[in-house]
Amino acid sequence: MPVSRKPEYYVADIIRAAGGRLASRVRLQKLGYLLDQLGLDSGFRYAYHHYGPYSRDLDSAILDAEAFGLVQEDYKYRQSDGARYSIFQVAGENADFTILIDGHLQKLTKRLTSENVTVLELAATAHWLDQIEKVPDWQTEIRRRKGWKTEDGRLEKAARLLQELGLPPTATTG
């Protein structure tokens, strides 16, 4: 496998396209999933997990990217409840590797990075339920699985985000 196609380079490139800094493993997982649906072709395999589509391959690639000095992961703690979360940064200048994400996907990465992480989780989950699990009524199912996360307009924002990206499902939420 050429060096530029190694999974750890996708991780570094996603973080680079996000502006060089990215908060939260959940956000990184959802970015990876949605970018793959948009044509990234990272080769990461996904399965359904607590926060929606999840890739062990991507998780391993994060560790490799850190081990090879491509990214740095630091930890912070939420003030509200003390929960730990990750902050990823491209390590140093790292101009030595090829950007695997084309200009269109770089723009979409920046757009997705600006979105609330729960909205990203809901968008990725809605897509997964509709396209992978083929759930006929994904709206009812996502409300069942995600509960309060679907409230306060977040599910509607997730559906609009998918529509903006040109990804299914495009049905309106009710």
pLDDT digits (tens, 9 = 90+) for 61-115: 999 999 999 999 999 998 899 999 999 999 876 554 556 678 888 899 999 999 9
pLDDT digits (tens, 9 = 90+) for 47-62: 999 999 999 999 999 9
Q: How far apart are CA 23 and CA 65, in angstroms?
A: 16
The DSSP H or E segment spanning 26 is helix 25-37
The DSSP H or E segment spanning 108 is helix 103-113
Domains along the sequence of the chain with CATH: 1-113 (1.10.10), 115-174 (no CATH)
Q: How far apart are CA 83 and CA 78, in angstroms?
A: 5
Kindly report the CA angle at 100 between 71 and 27, in degrees rounded to 5? Answer: 50
Mean per-residue pLDDT, 127-143: 97
Cβ pair 40, 165 in contact under 8 A: no
Our measurement of the distance from residue 75's CA atom to the centroid of its chain's CA atoms, rounded to an integer in Å, reads 18
| Predicted TM-score (pTM) of this structure | 0.91
| DSSP 8-state assignment for residue 98 | -
Say what the alpha-carbon torsion angle 39, 73, 69, 89 is, to the nearest 10 degrees. 60
Q: Tell me how crowded residue 91 is: count the other CB atoms within 10 A of its CB.
A: 17
